[in-house]
Amino acid sequence: MEDNHHFNAGTGSNLTVAGTVECDASIMNSAEDFGAIGATSGIKNPIKAAYRILLGSQETDPHGRIPPMLVSGNTPSDLAVDPSEMITSKARSEWERWKTVIQTEQQPYGVTNDNIVQDTVGAILCTVDGEVAAGVSSGGILLKPTGRIGEAACFGAGCWASGARDSLNAVACSISGAGEMIMRAFLAKELAESVRRPDCDAHEEIERTLNKFIDMCARRGSDHANAGVILIVAEHHEDGVVRPRLWCGFTTQSFAVAYATSMDSPPKAVILRRPNRESDKSGLYITSLPLS
């Protein structure tokens, strides 16, 4: 997805105020190993760099240094490309348009929230044995300051994975939306932990956690409580079989999700749309998609 120009991740990312691409990405596994890369320029696939940090964090240093979880900036590596190759003409024209709006203090004309590309990408997986992993990759918000590190690189914020332990379910989730608010809420960790009890009602737990997030945003004066979540809960049934369940929750008008299983083909892609209900003040939509 980082190579697809339509997404705000890798090539095609939103540009910073300086007109550059700076990406964040992170990845986590069942053992809660974690690797993240923040505000990096010229790495074609930031998630691969994040994965390399995760692998490094599994190694023991003979001199007692603890390996990093989060690395920022340019990491010289075989993953590097010319940073300008990651700038698409669409990203450049959006940058020019908004730069003008801001410099001339115009009221944005003909631009609604729906026109603003915020398509950070996330991926989660669950094996038949109940192993889980989660990742997220983002180009961040358009015209962000250079060096800004967002939720996609922060532990507990943009993605989370925890394996089954004691009586707890395995769970993986990935989130995008209002980055700094998601960081404040430790939203990925909070969501994942809320659904680990095997007897819990996942729908209720996700609703409670996202409503808490919306309340926190309101309390801090932000009316952009944007968040979109994909979440897998791997329920261990008594017959020894793992039954993963895929949940989606979002506060935006629409949310795109694609999924596949090894038992079922071909992959499915849907754009979920929130019903317009005036009584639904929270503007929250939660649903579970059948995986088999």
Binding of a copy of itself at residue 35 (CB under 8 A)? no
23 φ/ψ sector (left φ>0, alpha ψ -120 to 50, else beta): beta
Active site residue 120: yes
Question: Which residue matches tokens 């892609």?
Answer: 269
Select from 141, 188, 246, 284 the one that contacts a copy of itself (CB under 8 A).
Answer: 141
Q: How far is the CB of 101 from a copy of itself (least distance, A)?
A: 7
Which tokens hold the place of 208?
């409670």
Query: Which one-letter DSSP state was computed for residue 95?
Result: H
Number of residues that bind a copy of itself (CB under 8 A): 49
Which tokens hold the place of 163?
């394996």
Select from 1, 80, 81, 101 the one that contacts a copy of itself (CB under 8 A).
Answer: 101
Cα(137)–Cα(47) distance, rounded to whole angstroms? 6
Select from 224, 273, 280, 282 the one that contacts a copy of itself (CB under 8 A).
Answer: 224
Question: Which residue matches tokens 């075989």?
Answer: 78
DSSP reduced 3-state for 90: helix
Select from 88, 127, 222, 288 the one that contacts a copy of itself (CB under 8 A).
Answer: 222
Q: How far is the CB of 211 from a copy of itself (least distance, A)?
A: 19
Binding of a copy of itself at residue 124 (CB under 8 A)? no
Q: How far is the CB of 207 from a copy of itself (least distance, A)?
A: 23
DSSP reduced 3-state for 251: coil
Cα(133)–Cα(167) distance, rounded to whole angstroms? 19
Binding of a copy of itself at residue 57 (CB under 8 A)? yes
Q: Which string of DSSP letters, residue by residue, matches 217-236?
A: HHHTT-S---EEEEEEEEEE
Out of 120, 209, 251, 252, the active site residue is: 120
Select from 7, 51, 95, 155 the one that contacts a copy of itself (CB under 8 A).
Answer: 155
Say how many C-beta atoms besides its own lie within 10 A of residue 21's C-beta.
Answer: 25
Binding of a copy of itself at residue 100 (CB under 8 A)? no
**Region binding a copy of itself by CB under 8 A among candidate stretches 57-65, 82-90, 126-134, 240-248:** 57-65
Binding of a copy of itself at residue 110 (CB under 8 A)? no
Among all residues, which ones are annotated catalytic?
120
